[in-house]
Amino acid sequence: ILNVEQSPQSLHVQEGDSTNFTCSFPSSNFYALHWYRWETAKSPEALFVMTLNGDEKKKGRISATLNTKEGYSYLYIKGSQPEDSATYLCASLVRRKLIFGQGTELSVKP
Amino acid sequence: GAGVSQTPSNKVTEKGKYVELRCDPISGHTALYWYRQSLGQGPEFLIYFQGTGAADDSGLPNDRFFAVRPEGSVSTLKIQRTERGDSAVYLCASSWTSGGMDTQYFGPGTRLTVL
């Protein structure tokens, strides 16, 4: 059974704080890791697709790193803004389907 | 361009009834996926299509669930004899190919409530 775990489950920060959260996944037979952002009442929005060990990707104030040997990925948000409030999901690709973690719910207070 | 759309956005039904959930993928995307998200959990894979055929239906929980994509575009997820445990947000996603390396673009979901 493949388990993708995310921590923390929820996070409350002040506007301007930088934050990071973790996604861990089985490192054997790794193919790709996807990150999504999901705001309430909207569609999940794709952030990154990561495939190579040591990969670093950046989109505005959000960046992510990947360690496939030890089976983890970090997502960083620099200078959090209230509009960053959302659930952040990671998913590992297994036999052409995505296995999701339970998500990290981020709340940014003005 | 238009994204993935799903209808209805909300569906309330009674236990034992039949429901259909519709997904319109992005034009030209050959792969289409269905997921289900229960409260407090991440999305859970149900089935995916490559073109018209179901390439992997291993996530369908039982034979009350069925999905079709007859013309390789729109897909319908069908649930017979609904149970309270079927209440969840049903998400649809599409991508250019089914390799899994492509970004999957999600619709807003259908929230199903079974009373």
State which H helix or E strand residue A30 sits in. Answer: none
- Rounded to an integer, the average pLDDT of B56-72 is 95
pLDDT at residue number B2: 82
Residue range A18-71, pLDDT digits in tens: 999 999 999 888 899 999 999 988 999 999 999 999 999 999 999 999 999 999
**Nearest residue on chain B to A44, alpha-carbon basis:** B106
Q: For the segment A91-110, what is each residue's pLDDT rounded down to a tens digit?
A: 999 888 899 999 999 999 99
User: What angle (nearest 5°) sits at the alpha carbon of residue A86, between those of residues A89 and B60?
Assistant: 40
- What is residue A83's DSSP assignment? G
Record the tokens describing residue A64, joined without a space: 């992510």
First-to-last alpha carbon distance for chain A, in angstroms, is 41
Convert B42-102 into a string of H (helix), E (strand) and C (coil). Answer: CCEEEEEEECCEEEECCCCCCCCEEEECCCCCCEEEEECCCCHHHCEEEEEEEECCCCCCC
Residues of B in contact with A31 (CB under 8 A): 100-101
Chain A CB within 8 Å of residue B108 CB:
yes
Contacts of B100 (CB under 8 A, 6+ apart): A31, A32, A93, A96, A97, A98
- Condensed to tens digits (0 to 9), the pLDDT of residues B65-86 reads 999 999 999 999 999 999 999 9
Q: Which residue of chain B has the CA closest to A97? A: B100
Bond preceding residue B108 cis, omega within 30 of 0: no
Q: What is the pLDDT of residue B59?
A: 94
Between CA B114 and CA B12 the distance in angstroms is 6
CA A11 – CA A29 distance, rounded (Å): 31
B101 has pLDDT over 90: no
Residue B99: pLDDT over 80: no
Residue ranges of chain A whose CB lies within 8 Å of a chain B CB: 4, 6, 31-32, 34, 36, 41-46, 49, 51, 89, 91, 93, 95-103
A84 in helix, strand or coil?
helix
pLDDT at residue A5 in the model: 96
Torsion region of B52: left, alpha or beta (phi above 0 gives left; psi -120 to 50 gives alpha)? alpha
* Residue A99 structure tokens: 């296995």
Question: What's residue A71's pLDDT?
Answer: 94
**For B43, which of A6, A96, A100 is closest by C-beta distance?**
A100
